[in-house]
Structure 1
Amino acid sequence: MAVSPGAAHASLADAVPDVFWTDRPALRPPARAPLTGHGHRADLVVVGGGFTGLWAAVQAKEDDPSCDVVLLERGRLGVAASGRNGGFVSPSLTHGLGQGVACWPDEVPTLERLGAENFAALAATVERYGIDCDLHVPGELTLALDERQVETVREAHALHRAHGVPTELLTAQEARARVDSPRYLAGMHDPTVGLVDPARLVWGLAEAAERLGVRLHEDTAVTRLDEDGDGVRVGTEWGSVHGRRVVLGTGAFRGVLKRLALYTLPVYDHVLMTEPLSPAQLSSVGWEGREGVTDAGNQFHYYRRTLDDRVLFGGYDANYHFPGRIDPRLEQSGSHDLLARHFLGIFPQLEGVRFTHRWAGVIDTTSRFTPVFGTAMGGRLAYAVGYTGLGVASTRFGARVALDLVHGRDTEVTRLGMVRRKPLPFPPEPVRGLGVRLTRASLAAEDRTGRRNFWLRAMDAVGIGFDS
């Protein structure tokens, strides 16, 4: 259904260029002091205060309450990817079951079990520490917006059922009974996926970490890492700390470990949030189950109904800025206008709704869509980055892997092929940027025609992808 640019523009007229989740001053905790001075020491220094870093800090203290842990965050907690995402909590560790089967077919049963255990442990941690983050598990709907996507949905349903995931295949009528849109032709419901308020999860984990004894420092950018005796000297803007071990969880921000630039690609993802829907608008849409929703294209949207009856709507575009540029000025773009048009096309009954917030975040994608793990500095440092947009739950697992690696533990997770074998590195610029542009065009063409061209088939053969 065609939507006029004027209607989309009007819906965005009052949208503030800020992240809804963190634009709530009454909920946001006061800033923690930066690290200043030299001579600080710790058993473990965690670099990065997103989900990976916070999960690493919490689990390190739970493993050994006597472990002295310092966490350093370059800005404010929650301002980067961990506080900007849609809040989908997937048990998958492999960016979806299909990707796991494609990359590690022999390990899929183990990876699925570990993913379910990780999800359960996340929920238990939220309950144990009383973290008020609206965690609930309504499941996820994958919906077909055209005839080509109908077959994609059916294949996904068959794959999930074959691996024991109790998905439900939905007809167009059944899909629309859950969430009403004239675009829906079929659907699949996966009951294992949850939703959360991501910023409140960040803030809650930080509070839990402090109660366990972790020292948190915000506005503390790490500027260098140097081997120093039996550990690593972590230099910052205004001081330093000596850590016997270091865990790095910096996401798309590559920081001072240059090798990560080979494996991660910073991609901008854009998001909108509506005003709270009126009772009449809610009645026109249904959505009583509050499921998370995505569609089955290469360029896909993700959306959800929040507990205060707003609709978050994001995805589709995946913008890479040569040569891997990350800049706040890139967060506001025409992608928001495109999203507004798509939203009104999917929900024409919501014409006249206004968006209150428009923002973007940087995804740390890898060539196989799953994290890259490793060690550096003689094993004194471990890293876990590259969650490719599905890190709300899998970052907890990534932190577990990094802790085991940095302590030299031989565990079930460190023996996984996903951990031991790195994804193929991205080529250097300008080949990298050209490849991204060609891949995006090819994925869009496949969505239009249903045909996977030579370029995409060649990338499939060598195990490289690019997520929308």
Structure 2
Amino acid sequence: MPGPPLREDITCDVCIIGGGYTALWTANFLKAADRGLNIHILEADYAGAGASGHNDGFVTPTIGHSLGALVTRFGVDRAKLGYAAVGKSMLELARFCTKNGIDAELEPAGYYQVAADTDQIRLLERDLEIAARLGAQSGLDLLDSRAARDKIDSPGIKAAVKVGGALINPHRLARGLFRTVTAAGVHVHEQTRATNVEAVPGGHRVTTPHGRVTATKVLYATNAYQHQFSEFRRKVVPVWSYAAVTQPLTDEQLRQVHWPDREGFVEAGNFIVFGRLTAQNRLLFGGGRANYHFRRDMDEGRHIDNQQATAALRGVLARYFPAWRDVPFSHTYGGCVAITREVVPHVGSLGDGRFYAHGYCGNGIALTHTAGKSLRDLILERDTSYSNLLFVKGKEKQFPPEPLSFLGAKAVTSVLAAQDRHPRLIKRQLI
């Protein structure tokens, strides 16, 4: 159950709007840097209620949408530094859970990038070439169909590349992180929606339904909800992604598919398809076409249950695991992914004591840990490697106003879907 809301006026050093990974990691690193900081987090629901606690649990090194796009935009050297920082975060995240007794159901086996056809094999080969340019070790090898099926026995997998990473229970991580930062003295006010932010002498005042917070520094950490603040209205948009979870597989059902090390898999393409086993031996899988709704509509009542998406996911299950094609779903769900115009995250400052981070493009578990360090150093006015990473203080393009934003999203989505179906007709990497 969510904790009590803020019911008084307070003054503090740092006020953080949003209670997900970005907020909690930043608060954790700020407290570690300066135990005397008075930090208050305002969360509209409960800490981890959004994408932080409800994502699909892949801990990946990916920054933004794709490795190729990142190198094209920022160059090899800056991309290499960025990936090194996120790789370090993946290791530190596991150590953090161990140190603080957080049972996040972390499985360090990593995951496979997989190809379902010859065109996707070419995409994997391209990424291997880019990874080599970034200095990746020789352990990155392309497995042919036979070798790949020895790892995950799926007829849908024609080739695969092992990627470092982990699988995790995102809700357990979010709640464990919440308990850790509150034990360190960070004040987290759940059921407390920030309704307005205004400048006042010495800082900013954040208004909530039952109290106000006056802070020297303010951090906007609401990701897919960031557009609800006017400063970010056209800098980040929410797109809907869907997934399904089966009933727990029986021992007999598990024996039907050879999957000895339980790695996850992610299909190459613009609109990815992914799958993994949970700690309870449920099959979680999802992906497919991502939809943007007019005027950034995030109404869960209208969009969280999508019959068309569910039917498509049933088809994905049959394609990858025909032996499990009739296993009942325990539930299906949709959620919003935050996308920026450049399809990379943005971390920065508004120049008046307000800071922000958003746009993880569905790859935020490890990246928010790294962003938390960047925000710590920006807020404390430190000039460090983290405050100068490629996604920090960069130029940000805006999305056009409606209805152009909606029409543009429809057009881009159609082109990306066409490229996934006919990659030889559209060879240039679009995102």
Which band: TM-score by shorter chain?
over 0.9
Equivalent residues in 2 for 1:123-272, closer than 5 Å: 123-162=94-133, 163-165=135-137, 166-190=139-163, 192-254=164-226, 257-272=229-244
Greater CA drift, 248-257 or 294-303: 248-257
Give 1:256 shift: 5.6
TM-score by length of 1: 0.87
Aligned twin of 2:317: 343
Aligned twin of 1:15: none
- Partner-residue secondary structure (3-state), 2:226: coil
CA RMSD after TM alignment: 1.7
Separation (CA, whole Å) in 1 of partners of 2:329 and 2:3: 32
Separation (CA, whole Å) in 2 of partners of 1:221 and 1:340: 37
Aligned twin of 2:423: 450
CA deviations 1:224-263 (Å, max 9, x no partner) are 1111221211110111111111111101112663121222
Question: Does the CA-based 8 Å contact 1:299-1:444 persist in structure 2?
Answer: yes
Separation (CA, whole Å) in 2 of partners of 1:283 and 1:423: 50
Question: Does the CA-based 8 Å contact 2:226-2:358 persist in structure 1?
Answer: no
Question: Does the CA-based 8 Å contact 1:180-1:284 persist in structure 2?
Answer: no
CA deviations 1:381-439 (Å, max 9, x no partner) are 11011111000110111122222222322222222342122332211111111111111
Separation (CA, whole Å) in 2 of partners of 1:393 and 1:159: 21
Aligned twin of 2:43: 73
Aligned twin of 1:52: 22
Question: Does the CA-based 8 Å contact 2:271-2:289 persist in structure 1?
Answer: yes
CA deviations 1:242-296 (Å, max 9, x no partner) are 1111111101112663121222111011110111112222122211111111111
Give 1:212 shift: 0.1
Give 1:95 shift: 4.0
Question: Does the CA-based 8 Å contact 1:272-1:314 persist in structure 2?
Answer: yes
Give 1:121 shift: 2.2
Aligned twin of 1:374: 348
Question: Does the CA-based 8 Å contact 2:17-2:41 persist in structure 1?
Answer: yes
Separation (CA, whole Å) in 2 of partners of 1:452 and 1:231: 54
Given the alignment, which residue of 319, 325, 328 partners 1:354?
Answer: 328
Percent of counterpart pairs with the same letter? 32
Aligned twin of 1:428: 401
Please list every run of 5 or more consecutive structure 1 residues that lacks an aligned counterpart in the other structure.
1-29
User: Which residue identity is paired with 2:398?
Assistant: P
Separation (CA, whole Å) in 2 of partners of 1:291 and 1:351: 20
Asked if 1:98 corresponds to 2:42, the answer is no
Asked if 1:120 corresponds to 2:91, the answer is yes
Question: Does the CA-based 8 Å contact 1:84-1:360 persist in structure 2?
Answer: no
Separation (CA, whole Å) in 2 of partners of 1:251 and 1:336: 25
Give 1:452 shift: 4.8
Separation (CA, whole Å) in 2 of partners of 1:313 and 1:109: 30
Question: Does the CA-based 8 Å contact 2:61-2:367 persist in structure 1?
Answer: yes
After TM superposition, which residue ranges in structure 1, 4 or more long, deviate above 4 angstroms? none
- Total equivalences in the alignment: 426
Separation (CA, whole Å) in 2 of partners of 1:394 and 1:368: 16
CA deviations 1:134-158 (Å, max 9, x no partner) are 1221121111112211211222223
Greater CA drift, 402-411 or 333-342: 402-411
User: Which residue identity is paired with 2:101?
Assistant: G
CA deviations 1:176-231 (Å, max 9, x no partner) are 111112222111111x1111100000000000011101111111000111112212
Please list every run of 5 or more consecutive structure 2 residues that lacks an aligned counterpart in the other structure.
none
